Structure 1
Amino acid sequence: MLLRLSPGICDDRRMIPWDTLNAEQRQAVEAWDGALLVMAPVGTGKTNVLSLRAARAIENGVQPRSMLCLSFTNKAAREVKARLVKHLGRTAAEVTAKTFHGLCAQILRAECDAVGWDRDFVIYDEEDCRTLFGAVLRREGIRPSESEQNQFEFLLFDAAARARLSRFEEPPGRAPQDIFDECLRESRVDSIKRRGGVRFKPLLSEYVYALRERHAVDFADLIVGVNRLWDENPEALDRWRAKFNWIQVDEVQDTNRSEYRPLRMLAERHKRLSFFGDVDQTIYEWRGSAPAEVLADYKSRFAPVKVLHFTRNYRSTRRIIEACERLIVSCPGALTRQIVPQSADEGEAVGYYEAANSMDEARWIAGRARELAAQGVAYNEMAVLVRTNFTARELSRHFEELKLPHTKVEEFKFFQRAEVKDALAHLRLLVNPHDSNALARFLRTPPKGVGDAAVEALLGEPREAGLKVGDLLSTATLDAGDPFLRLLEAARMGRVVVFDIESTGLKIGEDEIVELAAARCGADGSAETFHAYLKPSRPVGGSEDVHHLSDAFLAEHGEDARTVLERFRQFCAGCVLSGHNIPLFDVPMLTSACRRLGLAGWEDQPAFDTLDLTRRFHRMPRYNLGEICQRLGLKSVPTHRAGDDVAATVELLQALLPKVEQGLPARVEAVKKYGARFRPLAKLVERWRMAMTEERPAELLERVLDESGLLKHYGKNVEDAPRRENLGELVGHFRGYDDASMEPLDALMHVLGIAALGREIDGQGAAENSLLLLTVHQAKGLEFDTVFVAGAADGEFPLGRSVRAGLETEEHRLFYVAVSRAKRRLYLSYPIVSKWGREQLRSRYIRTILGSSS
């Protein structure tokens, strides 16, 4: 196959600093084409090779816009992109560098009509999902003991993910109840065990329905959604295959079968799928990662696969590398047989301390940390790593007594901090007024004069009548007395225009409308239709696969865009708009097209979404237009052609209007009773929503922080100063994450998605210098000058129940991950007397590192 070089790129190797690469790294960079598997232990220069291999592919003619680089964390993805920019300049902007979940979100937002999701969907993190499960449990009257509430909510969250993903595993499909029962057996939620468990499937159904009602998805939804899309919509799969014909994936050891499946489906034609990682760092088997099975399938499907092993470590001192090597070569099934140190620094011997108890252990760690700080080592370059959250909390209490500055486990993730989540909730509510989790935070912090009693009342009869609490944050609703009164009045007069568009793409500020169809209708039927093809100023490109309108067809049949849009404006005179899933695409696209031609926009035109209406009045497993029509027994069949989809939406609207009419009295009564409390908030939110389409994300955030009172709220007390600083840092992150090529609204949704999907620390708070206290799982992918592995007793590390469950090898790898975080100093410690008052032995892994005589 002949490769066409990208414009301005010459195949002269100028971009690749070959003299900085060792022989193993050079081979990986040279193997830019085809299937490649690289096993790269810690500190072997993997990130540099990832970026240089992508640069080498571009040198050889691979188009940057067709390249996909996936990383485990947002931080790692940004680093790969930054290094690409260093080598390629602006060309690198076209390379897609994301996490796997970020890729899924991109695909599903683009294909939301096919999967039946709202285009404004938000991604719920673990805390949001657990809160949702808590609400489901309360409604169902299931009450675990207070001390077990958090653990049971996590159990449900975990079981819900496993149950939905199991259908894409091989062998496929275990019953949700069986998965829940297994999770319950492994847990310590004794109060639920004593009652004989619970029926899980109804809880799962309620949970998923609650997500959809809030226009929200969780992490498992993203994976399930893409798998289902590929299975049920071959055209969509072909479109994304055409988009990405060079795929590189990092951290393969953390990939489970349901994540690998859509990737291998994307790559099965072009075979350009490569994996990097270190299976000896597999620490998520308990969560479904299965690198052995994934790699066996990969080597079979993508043969021949070139396999390389990196062995040279550039990160750590020789003493630390020796400890790592001793530990990993003794691990059953380990691939790493040798780690070759490249540093000349011998380094300190591995430190070791047998403490009398946990307080003595904390005192020893604090003393050593203070000595190092006095020598110039920053506290935030030191980390204490432990096996469990319980041990972390116990050490944290001791550190507080000892006045040792430290960041706790629960404070580790920047985007999980309370003040940061409060700020993000304000912005999420602007994008998605149906997000009740965000609404609750918005009303609560700072207090806005609407109490829990009012919210609970609105969730009763008014909700059954089709009213959502978020509807009261609209002055149009408050003025009319009902969110749908104008729709009902227009329908009675036959003045509803249902419309649909097809376009050259999904970028609102750049792409163009190529087909516009509409029907002016009322409650009883259509009166008049509108249809036109528009002649675009650019080629339709890959969008032809969606709407099947070619450049040649549009050149012959397309009309002048200004003429069509002016005629459509006349067609809509005196009407309200309606359509399926229109708020964040069709209406903004129509507005953008008009503004680019110097015509008035459509922002002030009332528009009603039939997808939202269907969710309010009909409970269904999925809400794509075709399935809705089928479940409601409608005659129309949507085809992804504007005219056909308009006909289907008209029939759907007419089926929904009687229910909208029926609920009118209850909705009006509720708005009349509670509306006054919401009016000041509605004015504020609408001002922000206007700014949302004009201001960049960081500017909007600064406005919201000021006008919402959040900055003032977190400025009342001296001890809140770090919280205010974190809000300032959040503004900085918004600037860093902003994609200038996107319209402001799209950029805001992009930034909010990154915040929801963040797995790693993106900053500890402004100018914060404190020792990090983390679980080993949290520390994955990080490195520190100095590492203390604490609580390293047999029964704690390895964890006794993991050993009993046959997972001792994973515990061995987890200890390896812990010690390999250290660059210059490594200390191991354990308390001789456990927290339960029992004597315990040091970890078997300490004996492996230090030798039995030490």
Structure 2
Amino acid sequence: MSSNPSSARAASAVPDADRLVVGLNPQQREAVLHRGSPLLIVAGAGSGKTRVLTHRIAHLIATGEAWPSQILAITFTNKAANEMRERVGALLGGVAEGMWISTFHSACVRILRREIAELGYRSGFTIYDTHDSRTLLKRIIKEHHADADGLTPAAAQHRISQLKNELRDADDLARAEGAHSPADAALVDVFRDYDWALQHANALDFDDILVQTVHLLEAFPEVRRRYQRRFRHVLVDEYQDTNHAQYELIRLLATPAEEGGPAPELTVVGDSDQSIYAFRGADLRNITHFDEDFPGTRMILLEQNYRSTQRILSAANAVIGHNFDRADKNLWSALGDGDRITVYAGYSAHDEAQFVADEIRRLHREGLGWSDIAVFYRTNAQTRALEEILVRAGVPYRLIGGTRFYDRAEVKDALAYLIAVVNPADDLAVRRILNVPRRGIGPTTEQRLVTFAAREGIDLPAALVRAEEIGLGPKVTGAMTALGGALADARAALADQPLDGVVADLLDRVGLVRALRESQDPQDEARAENLDELLAQLVDYTEREADATLADFLADVQLTAAADELDAGQGAVSLMTLHTAKGLEYPAVFITGLEEGLLPHRMSLDEVGGIAEERRLFYVGITRAQRHLALSMAVSRTAYGQTNDQIPSRFLDEIPEDLLDWRQRPEEVGGVRALGRGGRWRDAEDDVRHDGRGRRALAGGARPTHADHPGRRPASGHRWANEITTADIPRGQVADLAEGDRIRHGSFGEGIVLQLTGRGAKQVATVRFDSGARKKLVVAVAPIERA
């Protein structure tokens, strides 16, 4: 027994380093142990990348190669950061305290809180969310009369965000080749005034958090050197999703500020096959050219999948193999072959949804929980039919992506009060709360207050305290001074009183909760409960972070996304877009809408690399499935008030036939017949390559097929359903079909016609076959004859 129990406990706090590699496969082990050069871990879906990252961090600390405070690990979501922190903590115990494991934005906020004075800001800066930024832009656009030039707040916000993520400012925009329209010209002035207004308010928008950190490290080498000395290891997760600003941040941290100077060792984990955020500015080249950016890179492939059965992985490998801008790898599993992939072609979106509902109920009867099942789709517009049928079928479901907690008006009002306390210079926050709850401060009074503050050179809260000098009526003057006094008292109380108590007293004093409680609107009670929840969260936060300030709490709130709060345990089927599905996994997955124009989406057809990104999106969807995977489509779909014939997705053709279990093929319900090899779908769109000047060309000199020119008839002579006329219907066969007639189908056998709708080439027959199956068939093209 040790004579010094406390030292024995300290010695046992760090586990034996050798134990940290037990149970890892050879590639995972190599990734944990590698030292001495930049490391790129190409981690296939479900290959245990989080385990590798956490064990690498723990191993660095256990071997004494780095203190916890010398580790910077960056993820893209708070959920991923929390999971990584918990896992490292479980491996190391209390020794893990002090590590920087956070999102890009959270890490940058920590740096800026300490260093932003170098850039002319104060450390108590406010972070503007999307709504705040748009409100400010709306005001500036109105001041410039830029709305008359066609510039909208949403468009300006999107373009400014793009430019900032490319590390470009208003001057860069002005120098760029041309303002092609009045709106482009107006954007330059709006962009300048927007940035000026942010700085005047001592505020940053979300993009600025990254941009200003990059500027700080570029402009002040001594700051850069300080963080390079602080961090001995920088690790980045999901590197394929980084944009240009994030790439520059990592480059500045991981390369010496001067020849021979210190620099952390860089490890990145990513998978080019799962890069699906180009629309947000993600640059695939960051990972595909990593070895060029960081010479001497060691690349390790993680190909063993611990999530899915082999048939699912074989389908994923076959699909993604059609992309050429990727590291060559093939996922494999030791979990067995598993079931074949179910595929179904419905007559309509509702028919497709009925299949999904029936399969979900079957899986549930066989013992799968509702929350073990997910339905993915390319666009939110696809949910209407799914929701309707699931409700009818009694299947509990939830849509992932509703109104976020922090986007609710009453929560934003409460946060604006807190911002006004922390950062009185933030006019946007103060103006939001002037008349919430109602206290008689209308637009005219607000403008007089703003004018007074500008004339006196003071912020708005100080102007509220001096409201008697403005010359307004006694009632509104009293309301304004009371509000100003409440903000000033709260600011003073933060110096020596508990944070949660100060906030609760402030919200009570200004009457925010009371106004909701006393309202006659039944929904206001739920809104008051949301404020109670906010206060409860603040209490929890202060218990976790005893020394935290109100500014720290606000930063934590403003960096938290609703997706990070995903709760998979509510006993309901999850419905979400394929983009939302990234990073999740379910025992059973349905991917709907496998049609040209949906997946791949029509917007991708003319974009350089668009089809490749859509294929990666499909790959991500496939690899979410653990045991059961179903793919579905509709041969007709209603959009914008019109019903259109749909062509099955080219991606279906890329999955080997022996992996598929077709429950119903497109041609069996009057859809387009199969083309190409083995009677399956085939087009040449996937042979399209780009010649470097943005022009599309076909590999090998091949000529375009019907897929490149949808209006042309295929060389095979096959006719699409929408090209067939009544003249094409064989006379004397089924042209005069009537309800009650018996017919014979090539696949389903004999049955009776229950109902006929439409006429001519668009006539649809509802048939009950002797097997019990009920199908809808386009009479003109279905393989049927009279029985």
Report if TM-score (shorter chain) is over 0.5.
yes
Amino acid at match of 1:454: T
Partner residue of 2:743? none
Partner residue of 2:128? 124
1:819 aligns with 2:616: no
1:72 aligns with 2:76: yes
- Partner of residue 847 from structure 1, selected from 628, 640, 653: 653
Equivalences for residues 555-574 of structure 1 within 5 A: none
Q: Identify the range of structure 1 (211-220 vs 434-443) with the bigger mean alpha-carbon deviation.
A: 434-443
Equivalences for residues 670-685 of structure 1 within 5 A: 674-685=476-487
1:46 aligns with 2:46: no
TM-score, length-scaled by structure 2: 0.72
Cα distance in structure 2, aligned partners of 1:827 and 1:846: 12
Equivalences for residues 103-142 of structure 1 within 5 A: 103-142=107-146
Q: Which runs of 5+ in 1 are unaligned?
A: 1-5, 183-192, 482-666
Q: Identify the range of structure 1 (331-340 vs 18-27) with the bigger mean alpha-carbon deviation.
A: 331-340
Q: Is the 8 A contact 2:240 2:286 kept in 1?
A: no
Cα distance in structure 2, aligned partners of 1:386 and 1:272: 40
Which structure is richer in relative contact order (CA contacts within 8 A, separation 6 or more)? 1
CA drift at 1:252? 0.8
Deviations 1:576-629 (A, max 9, x none): xxxxxxxxxxxxxxxxxxxxxxxxxxxxxxxxxxxxxxxxxxxxxxxxxxxxxx
Partner residue of 1:338? 330
Change (3 A) 1:388 1:208: farther
Partner residue of 1:486? none
Cα distance in structure 2, aligned partners of 1:376 and 1:426: 50
Cα distance in structure 1, aligned partners of 2:163 and 2:23: 47
1:455 aligns with 2:446: yes
Cα distance in structure 2, aligned partners of 1:116 and 1:451: 34
Q: Is the 8 A contact 1:726 1:765 kept in 2?
A: no
Equivalences for residues 9-408 of structure 1 within 5 A: 13=16, 16-61=19-64, 62-143=66-147, 152-167=152-167, 175=173, 178=176, 198-268=185-255, 269-293=262-286, 296=289, 298-300=290-292, 302-344=294-336, 346-369=337-360, 377=368, 379-391=370-382, 406-408=397-399
Q: Is the 8 A contact 1:280 1:336 kept in 2?
A: no
Cα distance in structure 1, aligned partners of 2:478 and 2:368: 57
TM-score, length-scaled by structure 1: 0.67
Q: Is the 8 A contact 1:692 1:744 kept in 2?
A: no
CA RMSD of aligned residues (A): 3.9
Q: How many residues are treated as equivalent by the alignment?
A: 639
Q: Relative to total residues, which structure has the larger helix share, 1 or 2?
A: 1
Cα distance in structure 2, aligned partners of 1:827 and 1:818: 11
Amino acid at match of 1:105: V
Cα distance in structure 1, aligned partners of 2:178 and 2:623: 35
Q: Is the 8 A contact 1:791 1:829 kept in 2?
A: yes
Q: Is the 8 A contact 1:264 1:273 kept in 2?
A: no
Cα distance in structure 2, aligned partners of 1:441 and 1:774: 33
Cα distance in structure 2, aligned partners of 1:123 and 1:765: 27
SS at match of 2:73: strand
Amino acid at match of 1:94: G
Q: Is the 8 A contact 1:381 1:786 kept in 2?
A: yes
Change (3 A) 1:244 1:295: farther
CA drift at 1:799? 1.7
Q: Is the 8 A contact 2:214 2:245 kept in 1?
A: yes
Amino acid at match of 2:326: A
Change (3 A) 1:458 1:12: closer
Change (3 A) 1:668 1:153: closer
SS at match of 1:804: coil
Deviations 1:289-317 (A, max 9, x none): 22424553x42454322210001111223
Partner residue of 2:696? none
Amino acid at match of 1:250: D
Partner residue of 2:591? 789
Cα distance in structure 1, aligned partners of 2:273 and 2:252: 26
Change (3 A) 1:762 1:162: closer
Q: Is the 8 A contact 1:385 1:775 kept in 2?
A: yes
CA drift at 1:255? 1.4
CA drift at 1:165? 4.1
Deviations 1:544-602 (A, max 9, x none): xxxxxxxxxxxxxxxxxxxxxxxxxxxxxxxxxxxxxxxxxxxxxxxxxxxxxxxxxxx
Equivalences for residues 824-839 of structure 1 within 5 A: 824-831=627-634, 832-836=636-640, 837=642, 838-839=644-645
Partner residue of 1:758? 560
Cα distance in structure 1, aligned partners of 2:43 and 2:571: 31
Cα distance in structure 2, aligned partners of 1:179 and 1:446: 48
Q: Is the 8 A contact 1:328 1:813 kept in 2?
A: yes
Partner residue of 1:566? none
Q: Which runs of 5+ in 2 are unaligned?
A: 1-8, 256-261, 658-673, 681-787
Equivalences for residues 678-693 of structure 1 within 5 A: 678-690=480-492, 692-693=494-495
SS at match of 2:632: strand
Cα distance in structure 1, aligned partners of 2:177 and 2:471: 45
Change (3 A) 1:63 1:329: same
Amino acid at match of 1:121: F
CA drift at 1:685? 3.5
Change (3 A) 1:74 1:848: same
CA drift at 1:53? 0.4
Cα distance in structure 1, aligned partners of 2:537 and 2:367: 28
Q: Is the 8 A contact 2:146 2:186 kept in 1?
A: no
Change (3 A) 1:815 1:168: same
Deviations 1:211-258 (A, max 9, x none): 223322112212221222122211111211121121111111011232
